[in-house]
Structure 1
């Protein structure tokens, strides 16, 4: 808005938006809390400052996310009860194949696999791929896995990442780090020999989310083949 406070008619005239549409947009902005209004006749509207509006929207979004997070277990239980009643469960040995595109889905996938691993996690990664884990607190999750008794082995051709792998807490159980021959192009992570992620593309220059693509599978034969590669590296 150009003026400190304006009527709907003035806003429609200044913006070139039809008056009926202006009322719709104004109602929407009022509902979001980024407009103030008066009880004058005609009613006048005043926008929050840019900084106030951004701060307000951030607080609203944070509160909404907090509310959803608090109710997560309840909804999980509710959905579980529904599925138990309407879905017939049966064992399946079908292999799963999935291409994960983008940083956020990848981080969520790896985080879940790390937290559910029970025995061993093996990583054969480049420096760039390890830095993806480091920047997204996944190295910390690996250290937590080690403290749970999970054996974590990292193999990399890079000699520069030991400081990123080192735990801030001095413990007897540590992540095993091995520098390997630079000729190995494979970037993969194997969890308990049962699930695997391989990097298709990890070009994160400029931190572009779209520059990360990985392939996930639980195909045991394929995982075994990759495991042989990691052991020979």
Structure 2
């Protein structure tokens, strides 16, 4: 039985005061015995601060990105070993904002995936199509291409213990969201695509939905059989809304 993961991506938001208040709110709203895993990914400069705020809770510390180099003359980069050193266990890679603004290729993202796995951490691989690709009927082809880059570089076994976040680009931060049926169809395609290589790997991989997930639409999304939680953007900045999403994930898997 897959345990859902609800992960909050704070993106470029936050301050010490905000982080302290938000974590305190989550700790009061959520019990330590949740039926789903819960993670938050603050900006890198607040990771250590947030780690201390999380002490004694079951909330997982995640990072929003990582470099491919472990050390050396790479000004501004952060290595996977540095993230591991301060307690990060999950690392988001391949987010559409990184693909778009930083021109990260499928192959480069696969390289990050390998670095994360090598360090014993959990990659959270974001995949998904743009609005134009969706309208052109290319959703499956895009998702397959982005997954296949990892399989080609590392083998399908790399998805053991990993997370995939299906995030249709047209639904991120737009208020639009795929219907539960649309999202389920893509999640099933992703699982079936991996199953062609290895059914056991496909069965255990966590596939989250992301794209304007909020406290209003989460419950219906989570009732779908192949949706294992969510990667949450804006709603993760509000303790009550994020807690409602977590509770919806718990309820759906009872």
TM range (shorter): under 0.3
Q: Which has the higher contact order (CA 8 A, sep 6+)?
A: 2
TM-score (norm 2): 0.26
Higher-Rg structure is 1
More strand as a share of residues: 1
TM-score (norm 1): 0.28
